[in-house]
Amino acid sequence: MHTLAAVFQDIPVDLILIQTVNGIVAGMILALVASGLTLIFGIMDVVNFAHGELFMLGAYIGVVVIAATGSFWLAFVVSSLTVAILGAALQIITLRPLIGRDPLTTILATFGLSLVLQNFALWEFGPTARKVGEPINASFQLFYLTYPWYRVVIAGLSAVIIGGFWLFLKYSKYGVWIRATTQDRVMAQAMGIPVPWVYTGVFAIGAGMAAASGMLFSPLVGVNHTMGLDWVLKAFIVVVIGGMGNLGGSIVAAIFISLLESYASIWVSPSQAVIVSFVVLILTLLFRPTGLFATPK
């Protein structure tokens, strides 16, 4: 009891609050990545192993466009659109032929894609990490720390993208198409909805979201061909914890996990802080395998 009190006494409250902000920032990016993943799974029943690579490609295309034009935000838009189109193409070539087959074949196919994309990036850009400058250099005072505005912008922008997508899903014609397809693929077709194209569209949107996250995140870490791997793993953990196919659940889970990890890194190194997400995963699998935040569909 004494040691516990001592531990808590040693930690200044402001550090916890700073880690809360960090946790939310990381959580929002993770939420954006995980949303794309859970969307693709929820609507198409496809586990997209290549999602991390789409994230990575988004960052690399950003690097290229910034080098050519000097504008971060232009790169952001171009990279998201390019990867979305690439995603659509990949879906048409490799995943459409597999519709109706054993869902495990799509895991294998997307795994193959991730290998190809990763090695392509390695071949094209080399093994050294690239650096991307932050587009906004201003910062503000958060307790004793000078906290960069850019991080807050990331969180805000991710929220806007996710929110925008939610509105699209709820109110637009294509949003209705997507929801109808999710609920009854056969009747959606009988109503004239071109289901194969809905799938392609959803995959493209998911890919675009991944690329956007990759681009937003790139100034925080180096852009490197393996950057996707860690993220896709985290995203999968988040998606399982939040409930596969459950958009709201993944977002909450993403923030939850990131907050826990941020707090954990007060005491242990970041590479060990990931154990937290593993523990939560194991607990979820033990007690609520359908997901901690799963709402009955």
Partner 1 sequence: MTATPIDKALPLGKSGLSHSAIFWIGFCVVMAVLIVAPFVLPIFWAKFLTECLIWGLLAMSSDLLIGYTGMVSFGHSAFFGLGMYGAAGALLHTHPPNLWLAILAGLAAAAAIALFVAYFSTRLRDIYFAITTLIFSQIFYVIIFTWTSVTGGENGLIFSRPHFTIPFIVDARFTTTTMHWFVLTVVAGSYLILRRITQSPFGMVLQSIRENEARTRAIGYPVQTYKIVAVMLSGLFAGLAGVLYGVQNEFAAPDFVYFITSGDTVIFNVIGGIGTLVGPILGAGFFQLLRELFSRLFGEEFPYLIPLGVVFIAMIIFLPQGLLGFARRWLNK
Partner 2 sequence: MSAVEKMAEAQALVSVEGLHTYYGKSHILDGVSLTVAPGEVVGLLGRNGVGKSTTLKTIMGLVEARAGRVLFDGAIITGLPAHRIARMGIAYVPEDRRIFRGLSVIENLRTGFDRAGVDETKRRALLDKAFSYFPRLAERRGQAGGTLSGGEQQMLAIARAMMLEPKIILLDEPTEGLMPRMVSQIGEIVAALHNEGVAILIVEQNVPLTLASCQRVYFMEKGAIRHHGAAAELHVHHPAIKQYLGV
- Where does this chain touch partner 1 (CB under 8 A) — which range of 144-152, 171-179, 212-220, 234-242? 234-242
Which of partner 2, partner 1, none binds 119 (CB below 5-8 Å, type-dependent)?
Answer: partner 1
Cβ nearer to partner 1, comparing 16 with 107: 107
Which of helix, strand or coil describes residue 251? Answer: helix
Q: Which residue among 282, 288, 295, 297 contacts partner 1 (CB under 8 A)?
A: 282
- Where does this chain touch partner 1 (CB under 8 A) — which range of 7-15, 178-186, 236-244, 251-259? 236-244
The C-alpha angle with vertex 218 and arms to 270 and 250, in degrees rounded to 5, equals: 65
Is the distance from CB of 76 to CB of 84 less than 8 angstroms?
A: no
Is the distance from CB of 253 to CB of 273 less than 8 angstroms?
A: no
Between 51-69 and 72-90, two packed helices, what is the crossing angle to 10 degrees? 140
- Alpha-carbon gap, residue 217 to 127, rounded angstroms: 19
Binding to partner 1 in span 252-271, by CB under 8 A: 269, 271
Q: Around 82, how many Cα atoms within 13 Å sit in the side-chain half-sphere? A: 19
Residue 199's CB is within 10 A of a number of other CB atoms, namely: 24
- Alpha-carbon gap, residue 51 to 35, rounded angstroms: 11
Cβ nearer to partner 2, comparing 128 with 183: 183
231 belongs to the binding site for partner 1 (CB under 8 A)? no
* Residue 257 neighbours by CB under 8 Å, 6+ apart: 27, 30, 234, 237, 238, 241, 276, 277, 280
Cβ nearer to partner 1, comparing 117 with 210: 117
Q: How far is the CB of 269 from partner 1 (least distance, A)?
A: 8
Which of partner 2, partner 1, none binds 278 (CB below 5-8 Å, type-dependent)?
Answer: partner 1
Q: Which residue among 18, 30, 44, 113 contacts partner 1 (CB under 8 A)?
A: 113
Cβ nearer to partner 2, comparing 152 with 193: 193
125 belongs to the binding site for partner 1 (CB under 8 A)? no
User: Which residues are near partner 1 by CB under 8 A?
Assistant: 47, 94, 97-98, 101, 103-105, 107-109, 111-113, 115-116, 118-120, 122-123, 233, 236-237, 240, 244, 269, 271-272, 274-275, 278, 281-282, 285-286, 289
